[in-house]
């Protein structure tokens, strides 16, 4: 029988390796940025066109490469970072496998220009699909410029699997932020299609976080600092009141390398126990420094997972460090049950010197004269003249009797409290329109979750949240596509803070949100001003609703306008619908029943979950058998 095992050609092996290293344009960005950092660059520029599908260019002012090194950098398993297998456990650099440039060159057109400081000219290399087409001297500044064009040009199947530009750009920004946050001493910039997205000067960790996520982030941060023999923890956590419904602003860096660790994330969450609202997540930017010998970073192709030799100790140290910081900065409650808050020094009096008390005596005070005044008043004498002649009486003109005299509420005029009106709780919108409110039907609410209604054949049980979600979903689809919804104007515009990526997403959704009832005054880089909101939500719910909306779009960015409209309607309906635990009166219960069965698909929610069920008389009979 003939031999069937054979060696793969180099270009096929490179393409297979590229499948592990380069999954999307963001993978190329990560590898090139890390190479620039390893070259000791102090300024790195990233230029993107069409979300990296057309061009990814990284320019740095690092050490550069010689002519020989520039050529060898595109060979497989060629690296300057390690020489022995033991070096894998003493890594202090980023790229070390020697496959990044070789894999990228196998599936794209690559142009590299590099120059060292002590040389007069640099080197230029052009590679198309592993084939070196050009290598020549060139004029270029100190450092390296790598241009990757037409990604996956020779693998059409992989290119077809790429998502829309919005999705791919989001992944590129995520990788850019992770690298930029880990290295605040390096200046970074990011341009996409000629537009500047980020311009980050050299700074410290706190300033880099503020530059990336907006100026309002500064007031949300609580510093964390702890150093032990095992681990050094440095960084910041967000205050509990600023916790979000998304997990976006959660970053772990181990030896300046971004990682994902559910175990350490649980340690942070445990430190916030009792301080967070339900279904909210704290923000954190934590930098862990540990001996490279105690970790293994070579367990995952993307190097975002790390194996620790003693995870339990890291868990305990991280949790206690965060709890200590929250308590030190008065974020966590003080466990002193005997402390009286009334004895705390007011803010305005802190630092003031104590003054001796001064006793003032009114030597003209005559208690008998005051008593005679009251006597003369009750007997109908000239009480007013006697009252004003006393200095003590002058000080008591505003006594409690004068309050009732001035208001006309004395013994001669009894008060009628039946006409007193009390200010009611502000209601910014009704749950249902007036034309949907009917008094017909027989319903009642069970456990503040289900609406029970009678049928000829038995009972109808409706989940109130899911039913209202279906009603709002179809109404919102109609508003977005057919007729704009009614908006309620705010007396004072609402100003909300978002990150640069979130405001970019809001700009894309602005037209659709306007159709649902939102009125935007302006959308800046990190700030959004709203002067009108849908009639069904209150002003306090706007921030929560938009956070949930952005979270849904971040996790499932649609490919087309139709799916974008559908996802927008789903997200808004889920956020605006009444929740389990809400008490509904008869009118609202009947409105939900009637509104549900007026829908086109009343059986399921927009996410295909069951809305109602029926119990027939036979089912009830069986319960008694």
pLDDT attached to residue 558? 58
Give the residue, 553 or 449, on which the prediction is more confident: 449
Helix (H) or strand (E) holding 551: helix 542-555
Give the distance, in angstroms, between the CA of residue 311 and the centroid of all CA atoms in the same chain.
27
pLDDT attached to residue 409? 46
Domains along the chain? 10-200 (3.30.565.10), 212-328 (3.30.230.10), 434-614 (3.30.1370.100)
- Of the CA atoms within 13 Å of residue 312, those in its CB half-sphere come to 0
Q: What is the 3-state secondary structure (H, E, C) of 171-188?
A: HHHHHHHHHHHHCCCCEE
Express each pLDDT in 316-354 by its tens digit: 999 999 999 888 876 655 555 555 555 656 656 666 777
Answer whether residue 462 shows pLDDT above 50. yes
Tokens 């974020």, residue? 331
In b/e form, how buried is each residue of 444-458, taking b as 16+ CB within 10 angstroms?
ebeeeebbebeeeee
Answer whether residue 391 shows pLDDT above 50. no
Q: What is the 3-state secondary structure (H, E, C) of 351-376?
A: CCCCCCCCCCCCCCCCHHHHHHHHHH
β-pairing, 250-254 vs 257-259, is antiparallel
Dihedral of the CA atoms 227, 231, 234, 236 (nearest 10)? -120
Out of 66-80, 365-379, 534-548, pick the least confident: 365-379
pLDDT attached to residue 424? 44
Whether the Cβ atoms of residue 152 and residue 108 lie closer than 8 Å to each other: yes
Q: Which of 54, 2, 58 minimizes the C-alpha distance to 30?
A: 58
Out of 155-169, 445-459, 496-510, 558-572, pick the least confident: 558-572
Give the residue, 304 or 241, on which the prediction is more confident: 241
Whether the Cβ atoms of residue 125 and residue 71 lie closer than 8 Å to each other: yes
Averaged pLDDT score across all residues of the chain:
80
What average pLDDT does this structure show over 423-435? 47
Express each pLDDT in 148-206 by its tens digit: 999 988 888 888 888 888 888 888 999 999 999 999 999 999 999 988 889 999 999 99
What average pLDDT does this structure show over 55-77? 87
Give the residue, 426 or 503, on which the prediction is more confident: 503
Out of 110-119, 337-346, 365-374, pick the least confident: 337-346
Out of 2-16, 59-73, 485-499, pick the least confident: 2-16
Express each pLDDT in 463-484 by its tens digit: 999 999 999 988 888 887 777 7
pLDDT attached to residue 574? 86
> What region does 276 belong to: left with phi over 0, alpha with psi -120 to 50, or beta?
beta
What average pLDDT does this structure show over 256-260? 88
pLDDT attached to residue 56? 94
Answer whether residue 408 shows pLDDT above 50. no
Q: What percent of the chain has pLDDT over 90?
A: 26
pLDDT attached to residue 439? 45
Whether the Cβ atoms of residue 104 and residue 148 lie closer than 8 Å to each other: yes
β-pairing, 458-463 vs 450-454, is antiparallel
Dihedral of the CA atoms 28, 31, 34, 38 (nearest 10)? -130
Q: Which of 116, 57, 115, 59 minimizes the C-alpha distance to 124?
A: 115
């Amino acid at each position: 029988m003939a031999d069937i095992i054979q060696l793969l050609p180099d270009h096929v092996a490179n393409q297979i390796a590229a499948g592990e290293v380069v999954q999307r344009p963001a993978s190329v960005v990560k590898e090139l940025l890390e190479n620039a950092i390893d070259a000791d660059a102090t300024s790195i520029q990233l230029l993107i066109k069409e979300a990296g599908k057309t061009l990814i260019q990284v320019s740095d002012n690092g050490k550069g490469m010689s002519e020989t090194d520039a050529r060898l950098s595109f060979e497989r398993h060629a690296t300057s970072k390690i020489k022995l297998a033991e070096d894998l456990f003493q890594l202090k650099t980023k790229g070390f496998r020697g496959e990044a440039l070789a894999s990228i060159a196998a599936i794209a057109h690559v142009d590299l220009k590099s120059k060292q400081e002590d040389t007069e000219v640099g080197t230029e290399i052009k590679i198309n699909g592993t084939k070196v087409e050009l290598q020549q001297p060139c004029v270029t500044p100190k450092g390296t410029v790598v241009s990757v064009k037409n990604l996956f040009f020779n693998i059409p199947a992989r290119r077809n699997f790429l998502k829309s530009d919005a999705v791919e750009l989001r992944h590129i920004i995520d990788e850019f932020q992770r690298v930029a946050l880990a290295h605040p001493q390096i200046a970074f910039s990011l341009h996409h299609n000629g537009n500047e997205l980020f311009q980050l000067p050299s700074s410290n960790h706190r300033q880099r976080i503020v530059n990336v996520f907006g100026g309002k982030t500064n007031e949300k941060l609580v510093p964390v600092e702890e150093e032990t023999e095992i681990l050094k923890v440095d960084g910041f956590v967000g205050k509990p009141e600023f916790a979000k419904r998304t997990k976006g602003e959660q970053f772990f860096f181990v030896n300046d390398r971004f990682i994902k660790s559910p175990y350490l994330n649980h340690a942070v969450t445990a430190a916030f126990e009792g301080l967070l609202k339900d279904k909210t997540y704290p923000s954190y930017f934590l930098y862990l420094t540990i001996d490279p010998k105690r970790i293994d970073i070579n367990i995952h192709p993307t190097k975002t997972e790390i194996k620790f030799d003693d995870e339990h100790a890291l868990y305990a140290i991280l949790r206690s460090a965060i709890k200590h910081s929250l308590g030190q900065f008065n974020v966590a409650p003080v466990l002193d049950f005997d402390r009286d808050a009334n004895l705390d020094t007011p803010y305005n009096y802190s630092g003031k010197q104590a003054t001796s008390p001064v006793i003032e005596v009114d030597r003209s005070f005559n208690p008998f004269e005051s008593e005679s005044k009251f006597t003369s008043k009750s007997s109908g004498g000239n009480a007013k003249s006697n009252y004003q002649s006393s200095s003590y009486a002058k000080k008591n003109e505003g006594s409690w009797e004068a309050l009732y005299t001035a208001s006309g509420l004395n013994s001669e005029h009894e008060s009628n409290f039946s006409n007193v009106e009390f200010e009611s709780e502000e209601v910014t919108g009704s749950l249902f329109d007036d034309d949907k409110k009917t008094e017909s039907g027989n319903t009642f609410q069970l456990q503040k979750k289900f609406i029970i209604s009678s049928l000829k054949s038995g009972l109808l049980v409706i989940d109130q949240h899911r039913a209202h979600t279906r009603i709002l979903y179809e109404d919102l689809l109609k508003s977005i596509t057919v007729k704009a919804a009614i908006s309620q104007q705010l007396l004072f515009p609402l100003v909300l803070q978002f990150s640069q990526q979130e405001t970019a997403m809001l700009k894309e959704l602005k037209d659709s949100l306007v159709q649902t009832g939102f009125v935007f005054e302006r959308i800046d880089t990190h700030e959004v001003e709203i002067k009108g909101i849908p009639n069904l939500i209150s002003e306090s719910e706007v921030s929560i609703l938009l956070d949930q909306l952005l979270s849904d779009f971040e996790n499932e960015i649609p490919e087309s306008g139709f799916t974008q409209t559908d996802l927008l309607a789903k997200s808004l309906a889920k956020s605006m619908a009444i929740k389990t635990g809400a008490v509904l009166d008869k009118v609202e219960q009947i409105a939900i029943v009637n509104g549900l069965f007026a829908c086109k698909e009343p059986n399921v929610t927009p996410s295909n979950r069951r809305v109602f069920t029926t119990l027939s008389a036979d089912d009830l009979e069986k319960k008694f058998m």
